[in-house]
Structure 1
Amino acid sequence: MSRPPLSPERVIDAASRVADASGLTGVSMRSVGRELGVEAMSLYHHVASKDALLDGLADWVFTRIETPTPHGSWRAQMEARARSARTVLAAHPWGLGLVESRRSPGPATLRHHDAVLGCLRAAGFSVALAAHAFSVLDAYVYGFVLTEVNLPFQPGEPAEDFIEELRAVMAEHPHLAEMVAEQVVGRDYAYGDEFDYGLALILDGLEARFREGS
């Protein structure tokens, strides 16, 4: 069976698989070539450089995050986008350090950013409040995912097992012990459940500012 021809899209897709397996530090023209079963030099006909490869990966992430539209509720649109971004970045955590770091953003990145601002502006947000909303929502999502993927226990592993290891020092930290006793022990606690609560707090605050005309 013949191998499908190389294209920029195939190269970037292969780079995403390398990043999933080895992180961004594992991404190189050579490693992507190996993933595709070709020599690294053949990739330069489709992606000009390692920097262009990373630009393409950042764009690849944004193609997978739900893009808002100027129609319907701005709050529902921002909520859906935040949840989508969390899902995508949790699946591809190498994107956390990449998506806002590129000096040459690609077309999907630019379209996505413009759509977020366009949704808020269509709802009546001022330019300044739209910018503030964009910033605080992304900071929350990125920060939450960064914490979530680096927790000292795995998804599905009972948090109580981890807490049990700390029981000996809890007596020295009464407020922490109180929170654990009330929120974690016997409650099938999952850190990921905090996401919706925090997102609602931020959206409530933005909605209040919007109504005030700030």
Structure 2
Amino acid sequence: MGLRAHRAISWIGRAEACDEDDDARFIFLWIAFNAAYADEREFQAFPQGERAAFLDFFGRLVALDKDRRIYRAIWQRFSGPLRLLMENRYVFNPFWQHHNGIDGFEDWEDRFKTSARAFAQAFQGGDTARVLSFVFDRLYVLRNQLVHGGSTWNSGVNRAQVRDGASILGFLMPVFVDLMMDHPTNDWGKPFYPVIE
């Protein structure tokens, strides 16, 4: 856990130095997220996939969050940006699968509506872990757009989603790391690339 926290904090610090560069800030915060949650076991024979790994991590964090810091962030500070993110088709993976000609995604609009309803139910029901899972599904698409060169740096297009994504991650990542540090004996998984002498 110490190595995870140390690495995540280092990337959070780097993100904070980005000032107005939301693209870089988002990428550095995503690296911090990877440092905090990613488990080496995911890369063994039968990986469970990103979505399941996210949900597992969020479930553990929410269970430990007795002061409900994550809950308050979602419902008080970021309810507007989260709803806008969920209503944005440009960070919905099936939208891009369809527009990239991949079979089986002709119904992306129905999936989008179904996802929006499921998110609204989780949001209204106070299911913090599930809300985070929906949000990070969208942020993962944004991450892919940035990291894989599917976006222009500092572009005038879709700036709100990058800015909001960086703000959401910028607030949540320190909370996630604090919760991990408050519970150092929990099994946070084996970190990638341990320090080997």
Common topology (TM > 0.5):
no
Q: Please tell me whether Structure 1 or Structure 2 has the larger radius of gyration of its CA atoms.
A: 1
The higher relative CO (CA closer than 8 Å, separation ≥ 6) is in: 2
TM-score (norm 2): 0.26
TM-score (norm 1): 0.25
